[in-house]
């Protein structure tokens, strides 16, 4: 069992998975880095995209052409809060802010403040959401 991290917050594959010539397993992430990676994957995944987990994801890409009103900002915050509540049990969300200063360039920064439940440590995660990105 040498080389295996015994983290109580969890250890998972880094994303995207990377396999090297001399390493038998992919790059791994532990603790807070694993939580940050999990949040990034959750916010960038469409519901139905994951096999065996059709409810996993946040569907932010469906909101690309919506006008950024106060009501719509509240909707985005609720969508993110609900996705985290159901799919990331290691944290409690304290606050979600949307910084629309880059809206003209098509960029909205989603800032999530959260507390890790087991350690009671506070962290901040910033996810750049690009409104002009084309998926294909």
**For 61-100, what is each residue's pLDDT tens digit?**
888 788 888 998 999 999 999 999 999 999 999 999 998 8
CATH code of residue 22: 3.10.450.40
SS3 assignment, position 61: helix
By CB neighbour count within 10 A (0-12 exposed, 13-18 middle, 19+ buried), where does 28 fall?
A: middle
| Residue 2 maps to a domain | no
| Residue 84 maps to a domain | yes
Structural domain containing residue 79: 11-130
> Mind listing the pLDDT tens digit for each residue in 26-51?
666 767 888 888 899 999 999 999 88
Number of domains in the chain: 1
| Residue 98 maps to a domain | yes
The secondary structure element, H or E, covering residue 29 is strand 28-30
> How many helices (H) and strands (E) are present in the chain, helices listed first?
2, 5
Paired strand residues for 98:
110
| Residue 121 maps to a domain | yes
| Residue 1 maps to a domain | no
């Amino acid at each position: 069992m040498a080389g295996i991290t015994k983290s109580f917050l969890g250890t998972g594959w880094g994303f995207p998975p990377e396999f090297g010539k001399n390493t038998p397993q992919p790059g791994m992430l532990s603790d807070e880095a694993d939580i940050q990676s999990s949040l990034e994957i959750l916010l960038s995944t469409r519901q139905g995209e994951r096999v065996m987990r059709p409810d996993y994801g946040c569907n932010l890409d469906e909101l690309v052409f919506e006008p950024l009103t106060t009501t719509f900002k509240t909707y985005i915050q609720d969508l993110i809060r609900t996705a985290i509540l159901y799919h990331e049990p290691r944290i409690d969300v304290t606050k979600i802010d949307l910084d629309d200063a880059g809206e003209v360039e098509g960029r909205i920064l989603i800032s999530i403040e959260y507390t890790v439940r087991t350690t009671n440590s506070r962290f901040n995660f910033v996810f750049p959401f690009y409104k002009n990105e084309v998926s294909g």
